């Protein structure tokens, strides 16, 4: 915005502001928390940090006002030239001189009396006049469009000409501002709540602080992640240190801290009590304000303590941005489940979609507005949030309009809404996207807090902006639409209605009546090109065939309005920007605070070094960082990481790992995605596997944040079942993409994608099923020969976890999957490389090849990651020919000798720059490593690792080849080896116990000529579901090592 305005002549902007600006709207912009103008500039007195803009010593022209906002440092009045002071004890202060005597200098460093600093003249080491205004440049970038700047300047002109009287008249009410303070705040019994502080409130406050505040503000000993956040144990409060001032800071925000809208009064005063007693009383007594009878008597009077405290859970306090992609049901009975919901906040304010009061869901399979509702958001029942299984999210609050499951636009060929062309599930419901010829979701654009949807209906491109109006005593929802040329009429379902509904149209406004309800609907901008009608219990708006593009809005209320209310709606609609293209080229960066964290050595041995890439747990948005994928930027200095909760982060500084001053910078660059579980860097864009689509993220304006959320492919067949994750993302040499789709838990598959390995064409044009019969394949590994490797999890028809070497067309055992296999015998399925018993790895994740010289003797080895135990395994294996001519893999796993990582490891990639292994993980479903997330680098240091790299079973022998030579003196003692075997039974029941468990005798052991291979002679060796080999050997230096291998033998080869 700033760049565009500076390119225009100031005189033209000033003239447009005088002609086209609206000072009433400009007053709201000036006084809103988002711009912050009123924090420094009073319009009623001289108490502001900056000048009172309604009182001028000399009158300035309109161009001066424009210049002062766009170029605040172009001219600085002497009394507002800042001073930079360095004191003898090393502190630096920057502010405006308010008073100077022979003994003291008083600086005002920010708005409000709390920002006044008194400095002794003798303490000043250096003093320098500043040449840059204390008013920061770039403030206009907080505005969304040129018209808002014209409105702001129009307001400045009005109060310059009309003075304080005009300023008072234009002063917006709280209802006009973005931040809506609840009505109960004016009735709070502050005196009573403070007087009642006790040990219980202290305990409650500690829970709140440790759960949230500690991230930014830190502890007594350790700073938080934001350097600008107040250190309570040593710092000075900027906005007041008495309890009521602290309460107001939590309510209204201050500095970088946004208003804590999720908190109710009790929670605010509980955490204030904890901060005072834990941090201030003993550690920072100067900031410990005394609570006297006089102080309590001075507080605002009231008789309420507000609503009951809200639940403090990370999924509730997280700022997801203005949207959240997920699955949501409206009502009961399954009639209206938005499987690919994009829930969009419609009202303005801080805190993201969760903190809103009005929402609309666009379901992008069916291109429908599934619902518009207000009040409360969601019930948070789901595996991603409160961890519950077997449930899905439902909307709370008051639902005002719905479109049940089905197309939101009629088929242009038939003019019918009948849902006949999507995939029909085995439950007779329809799933997946509409055929492209009917309609296609193209993606969305992000512009500040706006979400602009992009899709086609037939051949017609459409942009849509869900919105709402601030109307009194009625909820008013808006869908602003830009509709391209139409080669046929387009029919849009506005909302469903009872069969008794009647429709009357007068002056372009439709009145809908049924039972005791009356609501209004309009379509300004479309009057001449559209028509309302009632069709089959739905209100339909038909856009006529035509070559001219259309721009306008469709609005509806939840009740009738009087004449004044209608006038208000008309005025607000006239002010809406209907040219949505202006929002499709990138907007101001929303997450400008980069979080700097240290790189930390987590573990080191003679052979291995593990560095932790510390996550930004203390971030201003309360964003959870459960890592589910990563990939490397070409610069070798940064990587992109996606998280389970919908974010993508850029992590810079990975080239500093291992250095004494190594540090990382995390920048949040995308939000609101649906359960990301894989990511790839694609030239200048990012590809992310989400449950609803593969999304291609792009940065339209080069500010580092993603504005263009382009849908590469949304063939995903999504049901509301909690278990059907879309796992991993890999790419072959032709650019085709691969991911695995989980099946339902303990239930038969409903759609063809359930329990499959999927291939998506490079251009996203189609999806093919590669193999079937999986339960929950956690990621994909590509092999050079065109085959794949995926793990699978113990469950129904899976007696234990398994590693599958997958070939196209194969069936891998889950009878509950979607396939035509009816033979449940073991012989009817492809056998795994190995079965993995729970004690060895309770939940295997993605495999990958260590094709890197940086890993020395393990170069070329297959690795497996463990979600269940946070481990890394090597996977020694062999391939044997079967009687059918196929090649059957068999082998096992052996844990790398590093401690279990603190969270479940699910994704790994080797850096093309340093050649080391980077691991990402999280905890969400069942697992033993329950730290919320983690990102690590595992580096090989160049010493012996003594890991098994080959495993061969033959008649009476097993050969184990190690990565380095073995000390011959340690090989021959058969007491150094323990071998046991067991069988499993594959049934429809969950898992299997061990059957026929027994010990096998090792009668001899010898070292083969390569000095790396130990041959064990075991007369009773035979094919077995499970085997454990334990060996104690020595490396050439005589150092003892112990290795445990769990493996499977399908057949015996030849020596």
In tens, the pLDDT along 200-215 reads: 999 999 999 987 788 7
Distance between CA atoms of residues 713 and 760, nearest Å: 8
Q: How confident is the prediction for the chain on average, in pLDDT?
A: 93
Model pLDDT, residue 36: 72
Model pLDDT, residue 176: 58
Is residue 415 classed as helix, strand or coil in its secondary structure?
coil
**Among 178-187, 571-580, 822-831, where is mean pLDDT lowest?**
178-187
Higher per-residue confidence, 720 vs 127: 720
**Among 226-235, 376-385, 559-568, 733-742, where is mean pLDDT lowest?**
226-235
Over residues 1002-1029, the mean pLDDT reads 98
Q: With residue 953 as reference, give the H or E element that holds it.
A: strand 948-954
Is residue 935 classed as helix, strand or coil in its secondary structure?
strand
Model pLDDT, residue 349: 83
Burial class (CB in 10 A: 0-12, 13-18, 19+), 803: buried
**Among 49-63, 110-124, 782-796, where is mean pLDDT lowest?**
110-124
Read off the tokens for 963: 């990565």
In tens, the pLDDT along 88-132 reads: 887 778 788 888 998 899 887 776 665 678 899 988 888 888 777
Considering only CA atoms, which of 882, 887, 803, 874 is closest in space to residue 843? 803
Buried b (16+ CB within 10 A) or exposed e, 948-957: bbbbbbbeeb
pTM as predicted:
0.81
Model pLDDT, residue 755: 98
Q: Residues 6 or more apart from 132 whose CB is under 8 A from it?
A: 73, 82
Beta-carbon neighbour count of residue 566 at 10 Å?
Answer: 17
pLDDT at 175 over 60: no
In tens, the pLDDT along 498-520 reads: 999 999 999 889 999 999 899 99
For residue 173, what is the DSSP state? Answer: P
Is residue 547 classed as helix, strand or coil in its secondary structure?
coil
Domain boundaries, the chain: 2-77+136-176, 82-129, 183-312, 315-583, 595-940, 948-1049
Whether residue 522 contacts residue 507, with contact meaning beta carbons closer than 8 Å, is answered with no
**Among 103-117, 602-616, 748-762, 797-811, where is mean pLDDT lowest?**
103-117
Strand segments, DSSP code E, in 777-904 are: 781-782, 788-792, 801-806, 834-836, 844-850, 861-866, 872-874, 877-881, 887-895
Give the rounded distance of the alpha carbon of 696 from its chain centre: 15
Model pLDDT, residue 179: 63
Q: Which contacts qualify for 997-1005: CB closer than 8 Å, 24 or more apart?
A: 1002/974, 1002/977, 1003/974, 1004/972, 1004/974, 1005/971, 1005/972, 1005/973, 1005/974, 1005/976, 1005/977
Considering only CA atoms, which of 983, 966, 974, 971 is closest in space to residue 1018? 974
Give the rounded distance of the alpha carbon of 121 from its chain centre: 50
Model pLDDT, residue 95: 80
Whether residue 962 contacts residue 1039, with contact meaning beta carbons closer than 8 Å, is answered with no
Over residues 167-174, the mean pLDDT reads 80
For residue 869, what is the DSSP state? Answer: T
Q: Please count the CA atoms within 13 angstroms of the CA of 285 that sit on its side-chain side.
A: 1
Higher per-residue confidence, 313 vs 1010: 1010
DSSP 658-722: TSTT-EEEEEEEE---S---EEEEETTEEEEE-SS-EEEEE-SSSSSS--EEEEEE------S-T
> What are residue 323's phi and psi, to 5 degrees?
-145, 160
Torsion of CA 575, 576, 579, 582, to 10 degrees: 100
Torsion of CA 135, 137, 139, 140, to 10 degrees: 130
Model pLDDT, residue 253: 72
Model pLDDT, residue 698: 98
pLDDT band of 54, cuts 50, 70, 90: confident
Higher per-residue confidence, 31 vs 833: 833
Distance between CA atoms of residues 455 and 437, nearest Å: 12
DSSP 108-162: E-SSSGGGEEEEEGGGEEEEEE-SS-SSPTTGGGGSSSHHHHHHHHHHHHHHHHH
Fold designation for 948-1049? Immunoglobulin-like (2.60.40)
Beta-carbon neighbour count of residue 925 at 10 Å?
Answer: 18
pLDDT at 240 over 90: no
Is residue 87 classed as helix, strand or coil in its secondary structure?
strand
In tens, the pLDDT along 377-420 reads: 999 999 999 999 999 999 999 999 999 999 999 999 999 999 99
Q: Do domains 183-312 and 948-1049 have the same CATH topology?
A: no
Q: Residues 6 or more apart from 484 whose CB is under 8 A from it?
A: 460, 461, 462, 549
Considering only CA atoms, which of 927, 772, 783, 755 is closest in space to residue 841? 927
Distance between CA atoms of residues 464 and 355, nearest Å: 23
pLDDT at 472 over 90: no
Read off the tokens for 799: 């007696």
Q: Which residue has the tokens 């007041």?
A: 240
Query: In 513-616, where does DSSP find H-type helix?
Result: 563-575
Read off the tokens for 652: 């810079």
Distance between CA atoms of residues 726 and 729, nearest Å: 9
pLDDT band of 458, cuts 50, 70, 90: very high
pLDDT band of 792, cuts 50, 70, 90: very high
Model pLDDT, residue 89: 82
Whether residue 690 contacts residue 575, with contact meaning beta carbons closer than 8 Å, is answered with no
pLDDT at 228 over 70: no
> CATH classification of 595-940, choosing from 1.10.3720.10, 2.120.10.30, 3.40.30.10, 3.40.190.80?
2.120.10.30
pLDDT band of 695, cuts 50, 70, 90: very high
Model pLDDT, residue 226: 60
In terms of phi and psi (left: phi > 0; alpha: psi -120 to 50; beta: otherwise), the region of 196 is alpha
Model pLDDT, residue 34: 64
Burial class (CB in 10 A: 0-12, 13-18, 19+), 508: exposed
Fold designation for 82-129? SH3 type barrels. (2.30.30)
What would the CATH number be for the domain defined by 183-312? Answer: 1.10.760.10
pLDDT at 731 over 60: yes
Torsion of CA 380, 386, 390, 395, to 10 degrees: 0
Considering the chain, what percentage of its residues have pLDDT values greater than 90?
Answer: 75
**Among 98-107, 145-154, 671-680, where is mean pLDDT lowest?**
145-154
Beta pairing, strands 788-792 & 517-522: unpaired
């Amino acid at each position: 915005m700033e760049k565009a305005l500076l390119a225009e002549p100031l005189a033209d902007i000033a003239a447009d502001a005088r002609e086209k600006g609206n000072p009433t709207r400009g007053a709201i912009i000036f006084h809103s928390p988002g711009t912050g103008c009123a924090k420094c500039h009073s319009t009623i007195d001289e108490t502001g940090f900056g000048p009172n803009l309604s009182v001028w010593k000399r009158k300035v022209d309109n161009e001066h006002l424009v210049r002062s906002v766009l170029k605040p440092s172009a001219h600085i009045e002497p009394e507002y030239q800042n001073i930079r002071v360095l004191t003898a004890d090393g502190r630096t202060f920057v502010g405006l001189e308010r008073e100077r005597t022979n003994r003291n200098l008083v600086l005002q460093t920010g708005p409000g009396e709390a920002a006044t600093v008194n400095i002794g003249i003798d303490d000043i080491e250096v003093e320098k006049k500043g040449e840059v205004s204390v008013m920061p440049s770039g403030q206009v970038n907080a505005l969304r469009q040129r018209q808002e700047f014209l409105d702001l300047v129009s307001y400045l002109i009005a109060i310059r000409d009309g003075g304080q009287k005009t300023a008072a008249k234009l002063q917006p009410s709280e209802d006009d501002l973005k931040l809506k303070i609840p009505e109960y705040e004016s009735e709070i019994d502050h005196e009573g709540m403070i007087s009642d502080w006790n040990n219980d409130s202290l305990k409650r406050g500690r829970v709140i602080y440790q759960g949230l505040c500690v991230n930014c503000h830190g502890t007594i000993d350790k700073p938080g992640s934001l350097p600008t956040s107040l250190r309570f144990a040593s710092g000075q409060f900027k906005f007041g240190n008495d309890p009521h001032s602290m309460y107001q800071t939590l309510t209204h925000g201050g500095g970088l801290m946004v208003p804590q809208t999720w908190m109710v009064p009790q929670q605010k005063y509980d955490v204030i009590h904890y901060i005072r007693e834990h941090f201030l009383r003993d550690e920072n007594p100067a900031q410990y304000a005394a609570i006297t009878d006089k102080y309590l008597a001075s507080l605002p009077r009231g008789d309420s303590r507000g609503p009951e405290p809200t639940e403090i859970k990370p999924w509730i306090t997280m700022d997801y941005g203005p949207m959240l992609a997920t699955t949501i049901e409206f009502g009961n009975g399954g009639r209206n489940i938005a499987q690919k919901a994009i829930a969009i906040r419609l009202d303005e304010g801080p805190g993201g979609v969760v903190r809103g009061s009005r929402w609309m869901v666009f379901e992008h399979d069916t291109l429908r507005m599934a619902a518009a509702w207000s009040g409360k958001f969601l019930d948070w029942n789901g595996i991603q949030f409160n961890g519950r299984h077997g449930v899905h999210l439902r909307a709370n609050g008051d639902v005002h309009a719905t479109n049940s499951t089905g197309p939101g636009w009629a088929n242009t060929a038939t003019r019918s809404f009948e849902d006949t062309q999507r995939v029909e599930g085995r439950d007779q419901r329809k799933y997946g996207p509409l055929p492209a010829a009917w309609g296609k979701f193209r993606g969305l654009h992000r512009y500040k807090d706006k979400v602009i949807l992009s899709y086609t209906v037939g051949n017609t491109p459409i942009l849509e902006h869900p919105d709402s109006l601030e109307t009194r005593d009625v909820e008013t929802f808006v869908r602003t639409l830009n509709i391209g040329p139409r080669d046929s009429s387009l029919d849009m379902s506005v909302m469903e209605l009872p069969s008794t509904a009647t429709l009357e149209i007068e002056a372009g406004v439709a009145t809908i009546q049924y039972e005791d309800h009356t609501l209004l609907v309009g379509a300004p901008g479309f009057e001449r090109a559209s028509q309302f009608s009632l069709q089959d219990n739905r209100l339909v708006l038909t856009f006529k065939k035509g070559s001219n593009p259309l721009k306008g809005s469709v609005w509806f209320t939840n009740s009738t309005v009087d004449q004044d209310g209608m006038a208000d709606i008309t005025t607000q609609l006239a002010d809406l920007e209907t040219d949505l293209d202006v929002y499709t080229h990138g907007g101001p960066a929303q997450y400008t605070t980069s979080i700097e964290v240290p790189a930390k050595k987590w573990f080191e041995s003679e052979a291995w070094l593990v560095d932790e890439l510390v996550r930004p747990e203390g971030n201003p948005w309360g964003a959870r960082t459960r890592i589910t994928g990563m990939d490397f930027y070409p610069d070798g200095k940064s990587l992109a990481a996606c998280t389970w909760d919908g974010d993508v982060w850029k992590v810079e500084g990975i080239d500093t790992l291992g250095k004494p001053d190594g540090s990382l910078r995390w920048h949040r660059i995308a939000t609101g995605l649906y359960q990301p579980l894989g990511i790839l860097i694609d030239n200048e864009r990012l590809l992310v596997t989400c449950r609803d689509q593969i999304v291609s993220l792009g940065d339209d304006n080069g500010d580092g944040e993603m504005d263009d959320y382009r849908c590469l492919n949304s063939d995903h067949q999504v049901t509301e079942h909690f278990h059907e994750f879309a796992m991993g993302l890999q790419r072959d040499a032709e650019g085709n993409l691969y991911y695995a789709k989980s099946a339902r838990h303990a239930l038969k598959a409903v759609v063809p994608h359930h329990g499959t390995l999927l291939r998506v064409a490079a251009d996203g044009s189609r999806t093919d099923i590669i193999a079937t019969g999986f339960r929950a394949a956690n990621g994909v590994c590509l092999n050079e020969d065109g085959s794949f490797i995926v793990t699978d999890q113990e469950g129904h028809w899976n007696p234990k976890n398994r590693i599958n070497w997958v070939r196209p067309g194969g069936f891998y055992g889950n009878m509950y999957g979607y396939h035509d296999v009816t033979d449940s015998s073991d012989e009817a399925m492809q056998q795994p490389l190995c079965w993995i018993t729970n004690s060895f790895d309770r939940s295997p994740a993605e495999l990958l090849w260590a094709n890197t010289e940086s890993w020395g003797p393990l170069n070329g080895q297959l690795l497996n990651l463990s979600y269940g135990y946070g481990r890394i395994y090597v996977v020694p294996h062999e391939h044997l020919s079967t009687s059918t001519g196929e090649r059957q893999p068999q082998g096992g796993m052996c844990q790398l000798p590093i401690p279990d990582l603190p969270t479940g490891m699910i994704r790994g990639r080797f850096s093309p720059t340093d050649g080391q292994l980077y691991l990402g993980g999280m905890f969400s479903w069942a697992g033993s490593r329950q730290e919320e997330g983690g990102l690590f680098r595992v580096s090989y240091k160049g010493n012996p690792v003594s890991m098994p790299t080959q495993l061969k079973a033959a008649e009476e022998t097993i050969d184990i080849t190690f990565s380095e030579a073995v000390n011959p003196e340690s090989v021959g003692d058969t007491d150094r080896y323990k071998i046991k075997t067991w069988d499993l039974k594959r049934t429809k029941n969950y898992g299997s116990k061990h059957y026929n468990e027994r010990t096998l005798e090792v009668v001899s052991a010898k070292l083969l000529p390569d000095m790396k291979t130990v041959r064990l002679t075991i007369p009773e060796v035979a094919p077995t579901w499970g085997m454990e080999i334990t060996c104690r050997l020595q490396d050439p230096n005589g150092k003892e090592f112990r290795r445990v291998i769990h493996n499977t033998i399908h057949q015996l080869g030849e020596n």
